[in-house]
Amino acid sequence: MQLLSTTNAGEQRNLVERIRQGDASAETELVREFSQRIFVMSVVRTRDRELARELVQDTLMAVIGALRKGQLQEPDKLAAFVHGTARNLINNQLRRDRQKPPLEPLTEDVACSGAVEQLEAAERVRLVHQALDRLAEEDRKILWMTLAEGHKPGEIAAALGLTPEVVRTRKLRATRKVSDLIRKKM
Amino acid sequence: MNCKEVEEGEILEAYLLDRLSEAERDAFEQHYFACEACLAQLQTSLTMQEELRSQPSARTHAGSVFFRQVWLWAPALAATVVLAVGLWRYSARQHPALQVSSAPPATSPHVSVQATPPSPPAASLEDLARVQPPPYNAVVLRGAEDEAQTTFHTAMQSYSKGDYARAIPGLRAAMKASPRTAKFTFYLGASYLLTGQNDAAIAALSKTIAFNDPLYSELAHYYLAKAYLGKKEVPAAEQELRSVVRLHGSRETEAEEILRQLPR
C-alpha cells in the first residue's frame, strides 16, 4: 500500500477530514503511517519494547479519538500533532501520572497492521545481525563502542590506536553497509 | 532540522545515546515523523544498537576494561599478599600448634581411594530448579531518597528477613513509581520466584533483562532459567543458562554445571 507522504500538507489535511467523516480506511492509513514512528520514539525514550507497544496503541487511539471529534485545529499539521500526543503520553508514563484520554477498542484492521510491523521488525533484526557479521572486526568494534557503549570518536580512537577522523569515517562506512543491505532486502 | 543537519551533526547517534537537549530531541523527532529516509535509518541504527548490546564481543571488551582496572590495583594487591604471608609466617612461628602440616594425611584403612572421581548423581528438575535467594546489600546514599527508593527499601526489609511474600506489594509499588529501574524489577522477579509464582517471575525477570543493566543482566538470566526449570520448560531454561555463560560473570560456573545436568 502506498504510504501517505507526511511532508505533504494537503494529504495530511485530506486524511484528517476523512477520519472526521468516519472513513475507517483513513484510520488504517493513519495507523500505518505513524505506528512505526511512535514505536521508535517510544523505544528510544523508554527503552522498553513492551511499554512502547502500549504507548503506540494509546497514542493512536488518542489521536484518532481527537480527529473523529474534529479537535485538530490545524489539519495540515497532523504529523506534529501525532508527535506531540506521543511525547505527552510518554512523558506522562515516565512520570506515572498519566491521564489516559477515553479510549475505544482497536478496529480489526488496526490490530492486524501491528502484526505486519512485528514481522518487519523481526526481519530487520535478522538482516542487521547478518550485516554486522559481514563487517570487518574492527569496524564492528567501532560500531559497538559507539552505539552500545556510548563512546565518542576521540575515546574510540585512543583505545584502538586510530585518529578520530578515521574512526568517524569507518563508523559512517560501516553504518552505510548495514543500511544498504537492509534497503536492498526489505 | 533537515537530513543534512542530521547527518553532519551526528544527530541520530546522539538521539539513540540520549545526548540531545529536549529541544534538539523534539526537533529531530518532528523531522523523522515527516521523513521516510531518516526514519528508516533510525530503525536500522536502533536495531543495530540493540543487537550490538547483546553480542558476546561486548563482554570481551568489558572484560578487557575490567582487566585494565585490575592492573591498576595490581601493586596494592601484591603488597597485601606479601604482608599477609609475612603475618602468617610470624604467627606460625609464635604458635606452632597452628601450623598446617604440608605432609599428606595418612590414608584411613577404611577409605578406598578411587582413581577417577565419581560421576555426580543425576539431578531431578526439581533439584535444578531449587533456588537460593539473591543476596541484597542495602546501600545507603547521601541525600533525600525519592518515593520509589523509599518504598523499595521498606520492601527489602521484609525480603532480607526472608518474608518474600510481604516484600512483593512494596516492590510492585516501587516498580510502578519507577518502571525503568532494573533493581526493582529484578528483586520483584526474585520474590515471585521464591514464593513459587513462576509466571510472574518470568515476566518481571524478562523485563529486567530488557533494561540491559549490567548489574542485573546476568542474575536476571540465571533466575529466569530457574523459573523456567520450575515450570519444567527445559529449552527455555537452557537458553537463559547459555546467556549466563556468555556473560562470563559470577554465575558462569553454576550455569555450566546446571547445563551439564539438564535432561537431554
CA neighbor of B215 nearest in space, from B237, B245, B248, B182? B182
Greatest mean pLDDT among A84-88, B145-149, B173-177, B243-247: A84-88
Q: Which residues of A touch B29 (CB under 8 A)?
A: 41, 83, 87
Confidence of residue A51 (pLDDT cuts 50, 70, 90): confident
What pLDDT does residue B246 have? 83
Q: What is the average pLDDT across B189-208? A: 89
Task: For residue A154, count other CB atoms closer than 10 A to its CB.
Answer: 12
pLDDT in tens, B106-158: 433 344 344 444 455 567 888 899 888 888 876 655 555 678 888 998 999 89
Confidence of residue A37 (pLDDT cuts 50, 70, 90): very high
CB proximity list for A74: less than 8 A, separation 6 or greater: A81
Confidence of residue A53 (pLDDT cuts 50, 70, 90): confident
pLDDT in tens, B28-86: 999 999 888 899 889 889 988 888 887 655 444 444 443 344 444 445 545 555 555 55
For residue B245, the number of C-alpha atoms closer than 13 Å in the C-beta half-sphere is 14
Nearest CB to A79; choose among B13, B33, B50 = B33
Q: d(Cα B86, Cα B69) in Å, to the nearest integer?
A: 26
Q: What is the average pLDDT across A38-66? A: 90
Residue A102's identity, in one-letter code, is P
**Coil/strand/helix, residue B215:** coil
Assess contact for B218 and B246: CB atoms under 8 A.
Answer: no
Nearest CB to B180; choose among A43, A46, A128 = A46
- Exposure string of B52-67, with b = 16+ CB inside 10 Å and e = fewer, is beebeebbebeeeeee
CA neighbor of B220 nearest in space, from B245, B199, B244? B244
Residue A59 predicted with pLDDT over 90: yes
Tell me the shortest Cα–Cα distance from B260 to chain A, in angstroms.
29
Residue B252 predicted with pLDDT over 50: yes
Q: What is the average pLDDT across A92-117? A: 54
What pLDDT does residue A121 have? 72
Residue A169, classified by CB atoms within 10 Å of its CB into exposed (0-12), middle (13-18) or buried (19+), is middle
Tell me the shortest Cα–Cα distance from B170 to chain A, in angstroms.
16
Q: d(Cα B51, Cα A175) in Å, to the nearest integer?
A: 13
CA neighbor of B47 nearest in space, from A130, A103, A73, A141? A130
**Region label for A26, one of left (φ > 0), alpha (ψ between -120 and 50) or beta (otherwise):** alpha
Q: What is the average pLDDT across A156-169? A: 90
Inter-chain contact B33–A80, Cβ cutoff 8 Å?
A: yes
**Region label for A28, one of left (φ > 0), alpha (ψ between -120 and 50) or beta (otherwise):** alpha
- What totals of helices (H) and strands (E) does chain B contain, helices first? 13, 0
Q: Please tell me which residue, A119 or B59, carries the higher pLDDT value.
A: A119
Chain pair A-B, CB pairs under 8 angstroms: 110
Name the grid cell of B5: 543537519
Confidence of residue B91 (pLDDT cuts 50, 70, 90): low
What pLDDT does residue B83 have? 56
What pLDDT does residue B263 have? 84
Q: d(Cα B25, Cα B38) in Å, to the nearest integer?
A: 14
Please, what is the average pLDDT of chain A? Answer: 82
Q: Which residues of A touch B24 (CB under 8 A)?
A: none
Nearest CB to B48; choose among A3, A83, A147 = A147
Assess contact for A46 and A87: CB atoms under 8 A.
Answer: no
Residue A85 predicted with pLDDT over 90: yes
Name the grid cell of B204: 518481571
